Structure 1
Amino acid sequence: MIIYHTFGGRLGNQLFQAAFAATLARPGEWVFFTKMDHALKLLPGAFKGGNYLSGWRYKLVDRSLVPFMIRPLVHHLRLFTLVREIPNTTQVEVRRGLIGGVRWIEGYFQGEAFFDAQKIANWCLNPELLDQAKKRLSALVPPGRIPVALHWRQGDYSNYEVLGEKNPTLPIAYFKTAIQRIRALEPHPYFVIFSDEPEKVAELLDLDPGERAVSRQPPEIDVLMMGFCRHLILSNSTLAWWAGFWGQGPGKKIFAPRYWLGWKKKIVYPPGIEPGFAESLDPISS
């Protein structure tokens, strides 16, 4: 049995955690997540017993039971086997417990080094959401135009600090360079903007209204819509990362920011997060 105390986060973060759990789990093994509400909408039936807590139940477990009861049992008394991400590395520590059949997982596990891509490729995504995503994208893109997903995370990034640098929001030059590359590939691109601040992004990019549209769907639909586009321009967001992962295919071009959140220091952060399926563009030299 696997018990995964997820550290919160939205859909992109949860998908990385689900991918690690799916890689670790043995066939038919029961997996319990303390919080996996967003990802399990996309992955119905992906886990045996893939339950999660919500609302006050999660807060009770996260703030009381885990720090004062469960962690001491795992870390100090070694009752269960501990599987944890070693901070700032792509390494995983496994420390066997007295009850070896119960594994307690801690970490974010963001990057391809943490999961088996073949297992994840076999995930059965929610068919209803897939159908909705296709219809929403088709409704946005005019006939004869080539859909290009452009994801730019703004909003809460202004409050983040990464490696001593504030605000990892990508500069406009990165997107301008990627757009130029796309124009060199496609004579009639149509840019579909995905963002937490879509109007601001549309204004910053200064794209002609006749060559762009804005998606205002929930994350579970947005990530699939991006994957259905012919080409993708990713931001340093875990949601965009998974859109690129599912968006791979022959003839498709995917751009991603080099160094990810650590671009101001030119250090990949989190370690291992750079997607191997994308062409990296340096945000500073773009």
Structure 2
Amino acid sequence: MTITIHLVGGLGNQMFQYAFGTALAQHYQTNLLLDDSWYARLPAADTARQMDLMCLKISNTQFIPPQKEAFSFIKSTRLKKLLQSFLPNGPVVHREKKGFFFDRAVFTLNSANTQNHFFTGYWQAFNYIEAIRTQLQAEFQPRAGLNQHYQYYRSLMQSSPAAMVHVRRGDYIHLPAAAQFHGALSLHYYLAGMRLILEREPNTQFFLFSDDLPWCKENFPRDFKITYIDRSDAADADAQEIDLMTYCQHFIIANSSFSWWGAWLRKNIDGLVIAPNRWISDTSLDLSDLLPANWQRLPA
């Protein structure tokens, strides 16, 4: 038996998928394979992404090698695997039934010992991975270590009460599909979160991460003590910034897996984590499997 995980999306999504696969492989005491074929034919409507997992200190680096196979003329990996499942000895295909939902059934597969299993989805629920948190804290660090550019910000974080603020705009504003599905959070959400932290820690220094720093510098009040994180041009900048986030004491995350990981991997578990009460445009979505109960939700 082998567990194969279909990887899609940016680094935050890749981390969720890898973590889910690792937890599942350990549960069944079997091997984990990673399918990164999505990145070779990125859908035109999606945000441009690249495979970034290798920038992290992950212990499992077994990727499916490019190969000729049945149904190779079909571009969709999910459809291809579904068709292959009808072949003798084909994999059992599992497609995530519901986003941001913990599906206990994946840990009780009837055919776990006799067939290979292929999983496609995002698997963004902390219950899948809570048991391996310590392992993930060790693996989800930059393989090359924190570089000098970000070490400077880390030294500032360690010298005063520090709070991370992540403002994601970019594709949430300018890419129609992402803007409609996710949508950027309001400035009111961020300011309410910052004031809440200041009530607890008046001397807090805020460290703001964003893909749109000019907008942030123009719109965030100047009376807050804010250090804006200039993005490095290093190839592993995403991995560097998620790791840098974990050194803060308090967190105001965006509706983004990127800052979700910064907060979940945090080194100080006693601080405040503030999250939006909506993750996507559908405000009726139940977020209890995505956002731990001790994370405080604010209107967004």
Shorter-chain-normalised TM-score: which range?
0.7 to 0.9
Structure 2 partner of 1:228: 247
Q: What residue ranges of structure 1 are gaps of 5+ in the alignment?
A: none
Cα 1:61–1:67 shift into 2, 3 Å = farther
2:106 equivalent to 1:91 = no
Q: Which segment drifts farther, 199-208 or 230-239?
A: 199-208
- Specify which of 202, 209, 217 is matched with residue 202 of structure 1: 217
- Specify which of 279, 283, 287 is matched with residue 266 of structure 1: 283
Whole-Å separation in 2 of the counterparts to 1:267 and 1:53: 41
Q: Which segment drifts farther, 118-127 or 231-240?
A: 118-127
Q: Could you state the TM-score of these two structures normalised by the residue count of structure 2?
A: 0.76
Q: Which segment drifts farther, 253-262 or 88-97?
A: 88-97
Cα 1:37–1:120 shift into 2, 3 Å = farther
Q: Per-residue CA shift, 1:199-238, capped at 9, x if unaligned?
A: 2122221234863222314110111111111211101000
Q: Could you state the TM-score of these two structures normalised by the residue count of structure 1?
A: 0.79
Shift of 1:41: 2.1
2:185 equivalent to 1:137 = no
- Counterpart AA for 2:239: E
Q: What secondary structure does 1:228 align onto?
A: coil
Shift of 1:42: 1.6
Shift of 1:256: 0.6
Shift of 1:66: 2.8
- Counterpart AA for 1:4: I
- Counterpart AA for 2:6: H
Structure 2 partner of 1:50: 62
2:125 equivalent to 1:106 = no
Cα 1:160–1:16 shift into 2, 3 Å = farther
2:89 equivalent to 1:74 = no
2:276 equivalent to 1:276 = no
Cα 1:74–1:267 shift into 2, 3 Å = same
Q: What residue ranges of structure 2 are gaps of 5+ in the alignment?
A: 37-49
- Counterpart AA for 1:278: W
Identical pairs, percent: 19
Shift of 1:121: 2.2
Structure 2 partner of 1:5: 6
More strand by share: 1
2:195 equivalent to 1:180 = yes
Q: What RMSD in Å do the two structures reach over aligned CA positions?
A: 3.6
- Specify which of 37, 45, 70 is matched with residue 51 of structure 2: 37
